Structure 1
Amino acid sequence: MTSVLPKYCVPGQRLCVSNDSHIPGSGTYEWKGYIHSSVAGLVNPIEKEKAFEIGVLTNKGHHTVPTPGDIVTAQVTVITQRYVRCNIQCVRDTPLEKTLRGVVKKDDIRATNKDSIEIHKCFRPGDIILARILPIKELQSYQLSTAEDELGVVIALSEAGENMVPISWTEMQCPKTYAKEWRKVAKIIPEDQ
């Protein structure tokens, strides 16, 4: 039954149904009847007496420091009219033990049409994004950019709690309610290409 679990996960990702045979373990939490990952890492089901304890292993990322040019995974926390604040959770493929602060300024969201950007149509709190680290200009947080096609929102939850599906470069749709929401969608390139 645990073969349907993903191999790797990111924070907030729904892993499986929470029931008598699947219980949340380390690095996960239960929400609305499902087990979700609270950290990025390797999904680790452990067989207990009558159930599988679904946990997530990380390599802790003790000494990982982002450098300009690195691709990071971050979760959006705050949106203003001038910038998006987020918590960096992974640097390259390495999950971090503690999140780092990142900021995507309005001018760094897209490469074109910068004057017409409306931040609330690009990101929402809770979205998981891929971003590139820019050269350090401020000490309080890392400057991030999503101005490439491969960068932007990769995971977004709808109001119904479902993982939304990209339908264009600027919209995602809830598979349950079919409601559409604006996003700066990342173009995911399969690894085999």
Structure 2
Amino acid sequence: MFDTSKYTGKVLPGDLICPVFDLDTEDTKVLYEFLSGHGSILDTYTAPNGQSYNVLVASLKGFIEFKELLAPEEDMEDGFEQDPENKNEKTHNASKKNSDRIVKKYTVNVVGHDPSLQSCVSTEQVNNDFSNNLPKENDIVLCKITKITQQRANAEILAVENRPCVADSGLGTNGSVLSSVTGGSGAVTFSISQVSSDVGETFKAVIRSQDVRATDRDSVVMTDCFCPGDIVRCKVLSLGDGTNYYLTTAQNDLGVVFAKSLGGAGELLYAVDWKTMVAPTSGVEETRKVAKPF
């Protein structure tokens, strides 16, 4: 059994994790081969004596995790009887293989939580996973509209779908509390990170007018599609210009999922069709680019 105690622990980007090959201290016939996984890369280390070694180096902050790769089973012809001579030859080759050194392969990953702790996901673990859960291209995200102009809508990314919250904790509480938001396009519930007014930065994003819908892009009126405070389900189009992510809602399942009425004293709006939302009590109708219920 592979003893990971000499390699486990917390690492920072650039820290050495382990060599690519290592012998078992108890059985020298067993050779361990380590392959780079999530958060680790293959690099060359030069020892003080001038000799170079292939090693794995951490590329993320976190804890080291080893996963054994199981060897594929021997080829078998189901439903057919094997030739006795061929079978004997395979048995001879297998015994010869067993007499040689045994190679066991492990994938080395860097994760945000200590693998030795078998506890449930906690808020601390979510915050430690922050660096591994940045929004990427084609990710589905929830964002909050902050500003509207004729050409674009400025937003703040609150969460990436099916991942821990992404709001930077900073010096405040952003990302440390999860809340449930329901409404918008119907009976849809999302868990998003709390956006508080204290110190703490979020990811800035932009929805350009040509990325609001797939048809009639030139006739889009931004004020008819979004309003400040709306929660919008978007797809990350690109990493943008270094300041803002570029988002798009040019799909049926993308658009406003949560909104409050501007003319109805902040009453919650519900979707009627793909471009209309209504406040049930006051009956006020407002236009939005609504996400299709799923």
User: How high is the TM-score relative to the length of structure 2?
Assistant: 0.44
2:203 matched to which residue of 1? 100
Which of 168, 174, 188 is the equivalent residue of 2:279?
A: 174
Larger radius of gyration: 2
Tell me if structure 1 keeps the 8 A contact 2:270–2:279: yes
The answer to whether 1:62 aligns with 2:130 is yes
2:140 matched to which residue of 1? 71
2:246 matched to which residue of 1? 143
Q: Deviations over 1:127-159 (max 9, x none)?
A: 000000012241111000000000000000113
Q: Deviations over 1:95-139 (max 9, x none)?
A: 223220000000000000111110000000000000000122411
**5+ residue gaps in structure 2?**
1-122, 169-201
2:214 matched to which residue of 1? 111
Distance (Å, rounded) in 2 between the aligned partners of 1:152 and 1:144: 11
Deviation at 1:166, TM superposition (A): 0.2
Letter paired with 2:268: N
User: Where has structure 1 moved over 6 Å in runs of 4 or more?
Assistant: none
Q: Structure 1's 137 and 75: CA in aligned 2 closer, same or farther, altered over 3 A?
A: closer
| Backbone CA RMSD of aligned residues | 1.5
Tell me if structure 1 keeps the 8 A contact 2:167–2:203: no
- 1:115 counterpart SS class: helix
Which of 261, 266, 269 is the equivalent residue of 1:164?
A: 269
Distance (Å, rounded) in 2 between the aligned partners of 1:127 and 1:157: 7
- 1:97 counterpart SS class: coil
Distance (Å, rounded) in 2 between the aligned partners of 1:170 and 1:124: 13
Flag the structure with higher helix content: 2
- 1:107 counterpart SS class: helix
Letter paired with 1:77: T
- 2:273 counterpart SS class: coil
Aligned residues: 133
Deviation at 1:176, TM superposition (A): 1.6
Distance (Å, rounded) in 2 between the aligned partners of 1:83 and 1:166: 23
1:134 matched to which residue of 2? 237
Q: Percent identity?
A: 35
